Structure 1
Amino acid sequence: MSFVFQPPAPPAVAVVGRTERFPVHRIYCVGRNYAAHAREMGKDPEREAPFFFTKPADAIVENGARIPFPSRTSDLHHEIELVVAIGTGGANIGISQAMSHVFGYAVGLDLTRRDLQAEAKDKGRPWDTAKGFDRSAPITAITPAGDVKLDDSRIWLKVNGALRQQGAIADMIWNVAEIVAELSTLFELAPGDLIYTGTPAGVAAIKSNDALEGGVDGLETLKVTLA
């Protein structure tokens, strides 16, 4: 097959303990999946089913990177998240079978241009410019699912050494199996899909030269700096 120009290399994420990389197909994100975060955003977590939005696959950023501060925003926010990597695809997956589709887990950041998101919400417009911009999805290497147990894991984020976000994976309103099952009723999941599963309370603005460090117990620690 020939192309009018050389296509870019496919986005891919490192895998702990392996030389092979995880090729990224799509990035899905879950909105307001921690009760405390839903409340800080002015919503009632008891009445809302999960909803999803997407980022482009090439929004991923390697762990340890220095990221240019995004354009067109004066209110960039951090959102630390557990990321689920899908290894086996499918549609209408049952909750009891959902975990068998999970290849592994990583730690990710859902960077958000909050001012653009607020404007989009106010005008009833899509969130693409607020969520799906360049380099908006930093991520660690993926730890294979069989190498880690996350039931009691803590999730946290520090900015310049100061703790900003802290919670527990068990605090998620919809757990991993439920997220995979629900998402598969809306999209046919494929190997290479990443699911950012939501963030705990404490989201706040970050600025140029801030150093971010976050993690989920049992997974690699994510470190990025804003240029």
Structure 2
Amino acid sequence: MKMIHALTALIPAVFLAACGTTATTTNLIGFPEARPVQETARMDLLVDTQANGLLWSQLGAFQVFVDHYKSNGHGPIVVSYPQGSAEDGAARSAMSELRAFLDSQGVSARYTEEGPYDASGMGNAPLIVSFLHYVAEMPAACENRRWDDLVRERDNQAYAGFGCFMAQNRAAMVGDPYHLAGPTGSDGPDGVRRQTVLDTYRRGEPTGTQRRDDESGAVSSAVE
């Protein structure tokens, strides 16, 4: 009985020793990783003083700018309008057109922030639209990397630039570089749907989705 107890106590120690050895030989900490860097995307929208509004020839490029905000932008889209210039009236009309355009693209007023900037003495001062986004930046260790002669790597250790290609591929594949900082949060559960299921359960009714007859998975008798 004492021998059995001794063997039982020895088994966890063996597993712990194996885990410790594995962690020491396969430690990946310190290898290069792409990192997210915050930048500001900016576009200046010119004001058409003759038409008393936006210069519509630039809206194609602005459409691309807004699409980029909707896919990779973080925080509000900031609009700075000129104040104190001779074209303040045209700038106000351009702001109205800009709000309408953003709203038509699904960017409502609650996603925007507006504020003036001093345009005294400026001619044809633009509307300045900007937002924050992230870009993937490679670590300095991967810049101007060189290849070692892998035939001579007899000690099976990491060579110069080891992991750089993996980091570069990951940076190129990620949709929004912000996700390199960590996973995004998830929305809370649907309370209305949960209450509906609970009410159905309390009535003694099936809580699963009701299937129609044409959704049956039965095999046809024609193949028998």
Normalised TM-score (structure 1): 0.21
Q: TM-score of the superposition, structure 2-length normalised?
A: 0.21
Structure label with greater radius of gyration: 2
Instruction: Identify the structure with the greater helix proportion.
Output: 2
- Could you say which structure has the higher strand fraction? 1
| Higher relative contact order structure (alpha carbons within 8 Å, sequence separation ≥ 6) | 1
